[in-house]
Amino acid sequence: MRGHTQSAVLDGRDRLFLAILGLIAVAYLMLFGYYLGATVIRVPVYDLLGFIQHYADFWLRGDWWGYLWIPHNEHRLIFTRLLLLADIGWFRGNTVPFIVFGLLCLGGMTMVIAQEIMAAALPAGLRVMLVLIVLLLLAASYIVVDCTMPALGQYVHTAAFAVFALVLLDGAGEGGRHADFRRVLALLAGMAAAFGIAGGLIIWPVLLWAAWRGGLPRGWLIAVALTGIAFIAVYLLGLHSHASVGSLEPMRLLRMLDYSIRFLGLPWSHAPAFLWFERAIGTVILLASLFLLLRRGLLAPPRNRLERIALGMLLFALLMAALAGAGRVDIAVDREMPVRYSVFTAMAQVGLLILLAPWLGRLWSRRRRLLQICVIGAAVLMLAQQVVAGRAGAVVAGQYTEAYRQFAAGLWTPAMVQFVHPDRKLAEQGQAIVVELGIYRTY
């Protein structure tokens, strides 16, 4: 008890540490805001051109159900379809609805995780430190592109609603008299997770695990299972995946594993120069995650609510990495790992951080100054990374905008395959609709 009491008391140096870390977080958020503006892509490129064609083919012809439900590739993009309606109808195409909703998702995701940490039975100083680190992990300039490019917003939508579902699914004895209502909301959030990208469907086995480890009665376990099965069946009805399963020969399985490891190594795996570093990071995250899931998720129950939520985020991120490895191993093999997946890797990083809280608590009690020095050093490195990644994103955003300007002026160069659309004919069809409707003229 004495050590716990001492660890709960904040002295002058503790306050100084938290003040410095808080200032770094403020600078980090200011950079996030700056690069939010610097990476905005207001021109209709890539998938947004396809979204606009879908809008013309269905919504303008009065088929609102087809507009909302017919998939884009294998994804039913309900949120994106609604945001496009708002963007065209209210803003004439300036991408503001996409940006605002993406920020709300990312901010809400960060806030609910922070609330769970602050409610945990941990030393006050450690709780504040963990919240600030979570902020640094989620408000990153390499995640900002999921908010500033309409074609990428679906990833942060799925991540956010997966987290909301895990937080709302209260365990036995949690949630008070509104617990059942919150659990119903958790099921609705689980459905919403798949209206970002189809990979959100994997939240259902995660929610079933969370219900089991949360000690919910058999009725709720059955309700989660049946709701998940019914929703997945409806979602997949008539859906044709563009991903090829391919063979399961040993070398291909190794390439799938390597893809999943590099997925977990984001954001560093987006840069070819960090190939082996990101593989090392991804391997550490994978092995640590599997160990913790086995020890605290299967062989023994989570020790508390916060740990259960963290394990759920970790499991969701690992399943997403496995899906990416299986579905994308043969796609764009000459391209770097897409940075748009970073929000899922951040979920794994946050989950690991929370699961290490007991160990960090012991360090806080016994080697507090060493821990604080290491955390400040890591935060400074993350601040530097915020600048490097943000500048790189701004450069690429500028390339998208300039390529579209040339395309809209009637030019077509090899670069436009990368920055406008890989299919010139489809790009010109989409651009004709843009001109006819007088939308997305803000570039």
Domain ranges of the chain: 249-339
- CA-CA-CA-CA dihedral for 89, 94, 100, 101, to nearest 10: 60
Q: Which pLDDT belongs to residue 256?
A: 84
Sign of CA dihedral 341, 344, 350, 352: negative
Report yes or no: 62 and 166 within 8 Å, Cβ to Cβ. no
Report yes or no: 268 and 277 within 8 Å, Cβ to Cβ. yes
Q: Which pLDDT belongs to residue 333?
A: 56
Closest C-alpha to 320, from 134, 158, 138: 158
Pairwise CA distance, residues 177 & 191, whole Å: 24
Percent helix / strand / coil, the chain, rounded to 5: 75, 0, 25
Q: Which pLDDT belongs to residue 55?
A: 96
Q: Which pLDDT belongs to residue 242?
A: 56
Task: Output the tens digit of pLDDT for each of the chain's 443 residues.
Answer: 333 444 456 778 889 999 999 999 999 999 999 999 999 999 999 899 999 999 999 999 999 999 999 998 889 999 999 999 999 999 999 999 999 999 999 999 999 999 999 999 888 999 999 999 999 999 999 999 899 999 889 999 999 999 999 999 999 989 888 999 999 999 999 999 999 999 999 999 999 999 999 999 999 999 999 999 999 999 999 887 655 555 567 777 888 888 889 899 888 777 777 777 888 999 999 999 999 999 988 888 999 999 999 999 999 999 999 998 887 777 655 567 888 899 999 999 999 999 999 999 899 888 889 999 999 999 999 999 999 999 999 999 999 999 999 999 899 988 888 889 889 999 999 999 999 999 988 66
Tell me 210's DSSP state.
H
Cut 0.75: pTM above it: yes
Q: Which pLDDT belongs to residue 4?
A: 42
Q: Which pLDDT belongs to residue 6?
A: 43
Pairwise CA distance, residues 51 & 87, whole Å: 12
322's tokens: 């496995």
Q: What would the pLDDT profile of 214-272 be if each residue is shown by its tens digit?
A: 999 999 999 999 999 999 999 999 887 655 555 567 777 888 888 889 899 888 777 77
Tell me 293's DSSP state.
I
Closest C-alpha to 126, from 359, 312, 419, 297: 359
SS3 category, 248: coil
Phi, psi angles (nearest 5°) of residue 420: -115, -65
Angle between helices 357-366 and 368-408 (to 10 degrees): 130
Q: Which pLDDT belongs to residue 188?
A: 98
